[in-house]
Amino acid sequence: MSGYVPCLALGLVAGILSGLIGIGGGIIIIPVLVYMFGFAQHIAQGTTLALMVPPIGLLAAWTYYKRGAVDLSTAAFICIGFFIGGLLGAKIAVNIPNDVLRRIFGGSMVMIGIHMVFFK
C-alpha cells in the first residue's frame, strides 16, 4: 500500500468523478495504481474490483434513484451479467502476462475515447 492519505485522495477523486460522470474504477483508479503507486496491472485490477463492492456506489446510486434516474430492472440484469462476467474475465486475466494485460487495458481506453470523441 502507498499510504492512507494518497489512497484516500485517490478514492475521493474517483468517487467524485464516479458520482459526477459515471467513471472511476477502470479509467481513474487503475492507471493511478499502476503509474503512481507502482502496482502491477493484475494487482491494480484486482484491487479496484475489490473496492467496488456495494459501498462504493451505494450513496451515489441512491442519490440518482431519489431523482428517478435509475432503472432498477436494467441495473439488476446488468448486475447479474457483471457478476458472472467479472468472474470469467478475472479467470482469463490472471493467466495473461502483465505487459500484455496492460496493453489490452490501455488499448481499450484509447478505442473507447476515440469513439466517444468522434462518433455519435
Number of domains in the chain: 1
Alpha-carbon span 15 to 73, nearest angstrom = 24
Would you say the C-alpha torsion 36, 19, 12, 1 has a positive or negative sign? negative
Is the model's pLDDT at 38 over the cut of 80?
yes
**What is the reported pTM?**
0.68
pLDDT per position as a tens digit, 41-86: 888 888 887 787 666 678 888 888 899 888 888 878 877 887 888 8
Which secondary structure element, helix H or strand E, spans residue 38, and what is its range?
A: none
Backbone torsions φ then ψ of 71, nearest 5 degrees: -100, 100
Give CA–CA dist 96/15, Å, rounded.
29
d(CA 78, CA 102): 25
Average pLDDT over residues 18-27: 74
Residue range of the domain that includes 80: 4-118
Share above pLDDT 70 across residues of the chain, in percent, rounded to a whole number: 93
pLDDT in tens, 86-101: 888 889 999 999 999 9
